[in-house]
Structure 1
Amino acid sequence: MKNYNDSTYAILGILTTECKSGYSIKQFIDRSLNHFWKISYGQIYPTLKLIVQEELAEVRTLSSTGRPDKNEYFLTSKGMEVLKSWLEQPVKQLPIERNEILLKLFFGRYQGRENKLLLLQNYKQELEGRYNTYVSIEQAISNHKDTNDDSMYWLFTLDYGKRTTKAAIEWCDFSLDKLEED
């Protein structure tokens, strides 16, 4: 079976939800996946074109009066097989984090003390905002989980985000304390 890039598999997965148009796929990514998987708007339509060419999905054009035509994409049985096959494969490698804060801190000896403190304080503030966003998303999913078979799995990924964000906040506190002792 042919291999595709992970973003292609992500879009195949999204097509199992109610999101069927390029626009709704982008909205879903921004609301749900963006915290751990980024796909640019510019990747979505070429990927949709590819999955139609590969017969992993079919496209249907909807027309409505006074509005431009809208393409909606639906997984084919081949597309579902490809998605399931990918889901059952072992993960090839652990995720690699690229973090500008850590990179700058790694060379922190060449930075002013106030700058380092501000860097970490701002990072902590951003993380706290992200954590609060996760809590809001968790409440929204929990309020509707009876109506969605995917909600338990969405909560698993959300819990990962909450835990890693909380750990990063704790790391900021620890690092700030050490810098302030210095």
Structure 2
Amino acid sequence: MEKQSNTKFAILGLLTTGCRTGYSMKQMMDDSLNHFWKISYGQIYPTLKSLLDEGFITVQKQSEAGKPDKKEYELTQLGWDALKKWMETPVEEVALEKNELLLKLFFSHHQSDEAVKKQLESYLSKLLDRFKTYEAIEEMIVQTYGDQGDAKFWLMTLDYGKRTTKAAIEWAKDAKIKL
């Protein structure tokens, strides 16, 4: 079976959240998806073109005085069907995490314990900041979206981030003690 780009499904999924323009998709990615799925701004428009070519989406141009036409995208039935089929397909593999700190730590016998401790402290600080960000996002979702259908799933996704970040915080604290 040919391996597909999950980026196209991320874009299809964004269309279900009310994001209709490339710009609004980029904003949604920066505010939410970017915490667990990276899509560069340069991937959005080529992916939209590909989805148009496949018949998964349509586009309408909206004229604005003194500005370039705004393109608004919408899922077709074929796009909905493809998205649903992809969502129902089991995950093929558990993603490997690329972690610069772990890479450095693996080779840390070449540096002092003090240098390693500084790396761990810096990493821990970033993790604590990330956890605070997740708490703020959680509060925003609860206050803004309450019982709306998407909110439950956004909170589940966020819970994963909070739990893995909390585990990383505990690991970093323990690693510092082991030094």
- TM-score, length-normalised on structure 1? 0.95
RMSD: 1.4
Q: Distance in 2 between matches of 1:59 and 1:119?
A: 48
3-state SS of paired residue (2:149): coil
1:146, distance to aligned residue in structure 2 (A): 3.2
- Percent pairwise identity: 51
1:174, distance to aligned residue in structure 2 (A): 0.2
1:3, distance to aligned residue in structure 2 (A): 6.5
Provide, for residues 58-111 of structure 1, a one-character-per-residue CA deviation record: whole Å limited to 9, x for no partner.
011111112221111100010000000000001000111111100110111111
User: Are the structure 2 counterparts of residues 133 and 45 from structure 1 closer, same or farther at C-alpha, using a change threshold of 3 Å?
Assistant: same
Provide, for residues 95-148 of structure 1, a one-character-per-residue CA deviation record: whole Å limited to 9, x for no partner.
111111001101111112221011000000000000000000000001123363
Asked if the contact 1:145–1:152 (Cα under 8 Å) also holds between the matched residues in 2, the reply is no
3-state SS of paired residue (1:121): helix
Partner of 1:178: 178
Q: Distance in 2 between matches of 1:120 and 1:126?
A: 10
Partner of 1:141: 141
Name segments (4+ residues, structure 1) moved above 3 Å. Answer: 1-4
**Structure 1 residue 8 and structure 2 residue 8: aligned?**
yes
Partner of 1:85: 85
Partner of 1:159: 159
Q: Distance in 2 between matches of 1:135 and 1:144?
A: 14
Partner of 2:38: 38
User: Are the structure 2 counterparts of residues 77 and 105 from structure 1 closer, same or farther at C-alpha, using a change threshold of 3 Å?
Assistant: same
3-state SS of paired residue (1:96): coil
Aligned length: 179
Give 5+ residue unaligned stretches, structure 2: none
Matches within 5 A, 1:62-73: 62-73=62-73
Give 5+ residue unaligned stretches, structure 1: none
